[in-house]
Chain A
């Protein structure tokens, strides 16, 4: 992974910069190379680089003070939530200060009547729901890493999850943020209903991958929990049939909260790992609906009637909590299971659901051409694919071949009218592919937004945009310094 060369002038000033940071946040600066190694990568662990220093502030004021120092020193900053990015969103460079939010995990306000919770941005996704669960509420976006991932990172990447079909992704559930700009100024964005006068700055900050500012606090919409939920498992003898069944369900006007898809390679791996008792089939769907028991029955009757038109091998309806848990078990263990048998790379291109059969066939063809197996597990209702490319990190050349196959699969997603990433973000991983989806003019329009929020291009600057495209801005700044 090509990253910009570190600025030797900054490397030479490491101690002086660390001392300035210590002066504003005395006990929260890490610059011992043995300790900064813990921050050398995120969940895209193939690429590593220890940062210049790490700061773990505890308050918005401390974040502002740290950014002010970095701004004055011209030091690049990489924001970090819990470091679970699959796209390298918080991967540092050697001349960068990592600003980690791990200590900022408090709850600021819970307001059930107005249906929001305000938390510090380092708080984990699942523990937000944990605060309001007892009162019958939840926070809807549920990325697979929700036990570990931080709300700040969710906002940076506009994270999704399995239940987006009904509840939307982070941006649809975010009402406001406290944002610290690179010059240390602090602004409140959003408001009740997520609205503020003027332009929707909250909307463009969400998903900006930590390039516009550092989110230190967030107001999140919480929703009353449904009376209950129940999954069904439907097995098919062909992936295409499963895909057609998804389209038919959506077309019929039934909107389940989740429709998950797994193909044979994925089913086989998870069975060996989790023993969920999945049927022997080419593809399966897990469809979940919500409501009171009679409401659930009503929806499942409709879904069964539609599914039967596609001759399923099995239609397994959960009749107990335990059966529901077993139906979800394999899906939720899918990534862990694949990790047991292989190294893998997880893509998350999104496609129009109507092109599902075409894309699955295309992935199978490419998989054969590159000689690497691909297992598919994805959010079928919204077309968010998750092809897992299996490779062996110890075989020289395998990672490069895997990345080349990944790029081809993502180009296919764009060709059929989809996009490079549905919920993981661009980061460093898909940066160079951006020109397959956007023209230079399109990218220029996006970069102008960064010019406004971070004129010095110091915040997470080597991400999102192809390096050659962002170079004049990043280097222009340096040369002017």
Chain B
């Protein structure tokens, strides 16, 4: 049964969170310094920053950059091992953007696959309710609409907030979300407010760039492994990992043992295909010896290998890689260059 949306006054946001904190661990975007925000675990008293999409978004709630898998210690000539996958409390994420939420469906394909399930990811995923925040002011670097999403994309959110000015309209989208309908701070929304939300949605959708030409790019790339395009496209890339680490869909990791004298822990850390070390083999040989191969990998994985494996492109158009690249490598231009490349027609 579809529930009518509710209304959450902005004045009630703090008490709303305080109430939730009794039953849930809270995650929300917070400002670390002027211009830099991350979505992280918060206390209800923390100041939440819903103003812009944070540098580090929803991905970290389910797949932290630095995660302990298990730890061990030596106790009287034996070792005691403690696994760390359990998630003791239910979680609520507030204020994730639709692009980041769409990206989670991409991560689900990887971590909750038919053959293999990643328990660390799955436990967090099952215990989390996602309250999305629709983008009423998308940026010029946003191209979610080209990637099958949009500023009001609802898939993946349990609840969606729409900013009406002095209040949020709250849509109940899943069973998990509907469990919130009796929350004391969620009031009945008026027909006028619902109409206003529709209007804001219409305006926002017009603003995002739907013209990034990704149609058929996977097929096109099938023919392009040895294309001369790669000799040029990577030139300006300095080989840092900012784009991949901040990307909501990039999910490569490296497992390491942090060993101390009488104990230690096994951790997994985010990794990046743009780092030379990523593909360096024990022998000293590196099958991706230069930026050409590494940039190609980044783009091929998103636009060719991933679609082959999971029938979807591993990019949601959030624009972070464009915004935070130190040398202005623009993935939209890379897509255009790939599509324009001649002599690489689909079979």
Partners in one complex: no
